[in-house]
Chains A and B, each alone.
Chain A
Amino acid sequence: MTTQRNDPVPVNDFVDGVLKRNPVFVQLLGMCPVLAVSNTARNALAMGLATGFVLLMSNLVVSLLRRWVPTQVRIVTFILIIATFVTIVDYAIQAISLDLHKALGAFISLIVVNCLILGRAEAFASRQPPSRSILDALGMGTGFTIALLSLGAVRELLGSGSLFGVRVLGESFQEWTIMMLPPGGFFVLAAWLLAINAWNSRSFRPPTVKEAV
């Protein structure tokens, strides 16, 4: 991040968060909600958007306050700022859809301890101007949402043969119930990581026999 300080095009802040430094697939941050609420595509999308909103607002506020927060108490301050926005999101979701609120349960409140948000506040927003912090939050939020959605879509498709609650696989499809259950989360994330590893290693020159030995 520090190497990009003089970068005239802060668009990189956005793209990096989505691809090169994707919080879930590359940095393995914020795993608890990723695995817990990605059992259907709808839950995954809602969780991704909620986390993205908290990330955006807390990054903005932390960045605005960065000159006034004493270093010794910065972590506590960040957590309190984050907790404020999480409370807002919690009540907003409750007002919009009670079903969704029930499905996500305590995991909305648990956005507070998502290492991703605190990590961005500490590593980026507390050192950068608001404009770049917003871009960073948007990038990371999008990357997080995409990751959650890709997990949720696979789990819902295999686990109940539907997508966003609409049946897409035929009646004869035998559901893999385990995909909806906790172990499915671990397996699908492992499969995605494997796929990404395989894709990345493709673009490199394959090691010669000598190197491999």
Chain B
Amino acid sequence: MMDEPSLWAIFINASLVNNFVLAYFLGICPFLGVSSKRETAFRMGIAVTFVMLISSMAAYGIRALLMAAGAPYLQLISFIAVIASTVQLVEMFVKKFSPTLFRALGIFLPLITTNCAILGVALFQSNRQYSFIQSFVFALGAGVGFTLALVLMAGLREKLELSETPDLVKGATITLVLAGLLSVCFMGFAGLFG
């Protein structure tokens, strides 16, 4: 990693080169669970991106506070507490201001709490000591990458349903092989900022 990466580099890095799902394996559960229809996959991606952005900003504030208070060991506990309450807040907010969006996101919002990609963004940005703007761009890139991986996977699985597969590999096995192939493809981006 470069010392002072540009914003563009951070974005490309988080979304393509080190895609959260395919390179860091964060958010595998929704990736394998929700990605059977493109429509739902896209909505899930949007919801996750939204929460990522908000919790990333919150995490930046917390880190600054904890550093000032000299209590870095509270970092993890406060991150997870903030993410859980952010999800709750976002849910109430969306419900109030856009019932259409709320219905569209449906069950996905509460599920996001246990999505490791969200906590992953908060942890990575603190480990790498990103500034506020950098954190924001990083979270945006991670969200875009997550959405991209989910939608691509959903497209593949829609095709898969129409094709004949042996009984032995049906379900999780073939999905994992697909994910592996997708991951190989994303490795092709590795040279972008080498």
Among A28, A105, A109, A113, contact of B114 (Cβ-Cβ < 8 Å): A113
Stretch from A84-92, A126-134, A138-146 contacting the other chain: A84-92
A interface bracket (residues with beta carbon within 8 Å of B) = 35 or more
Instruction: Please classify the interface of chain B as helix (H, G, I), strand (E, B), loop, or mixed, using the class held by over half of its residues.
Output: helix
Binding site for A on B (CB under 8 A): 22-29, 32, 73, 76-77, 80-81, 84, 114-116, 119-120, 123-124, 127, 168-169, 172-174, 176-177, 179-181, 183-184, 187
A61-81 vs B: 1/0 string, CB under 8 Å? 000000000000001100110
A188 CA / B177 CA spacing, docked (Å)? 9
Chain B nearest Cβ from A74, distance in angstroms: 12
- Whether A110 is near chain B, meaning CB under 8 Å from some CB there, is yes
A41-79 vs B: 1/0 string, CB under 8 Å? 000000000000000000000000000000000011001
Residues B28 and A31 in contact, CB atoms below 8 Å apart: yes
Q: Which 10 A-B pairs have the closest CB atoms?
A: A186-B180, A190-B176, A183-B183, A36-B25, A35-B25, A31-B28, A113-B116, A106-B123, A83-B77, A193-B173
Counting chain B CB atoms within 10 Å of each CB, the highest count among A75, A83, A114, A118 belongs to: A83
> Given A87-B76, A182-B23, A198-B168, do A115 and B114 touch, yes or no (CB 8 Å)?
yes
Beyond A83-B76, A183-B180, 20 extra complex contacts between A and B, CB < 8 Å: A31-B28, A31-B29, A35-B25, A36-B25, A83-B80, A87-B73, A91-B73, A110-B26, A110-B116, A110-B120, A112-B80, A113-B114, A118-B114, A183-B184, A184-B180, A186-B177, A186-B179, A190-B173, A190-B174, A193-B173
> Given A76-B84, A83-B77, do A113 and B119 touch, yes or no (CB 8 Å)?
yes
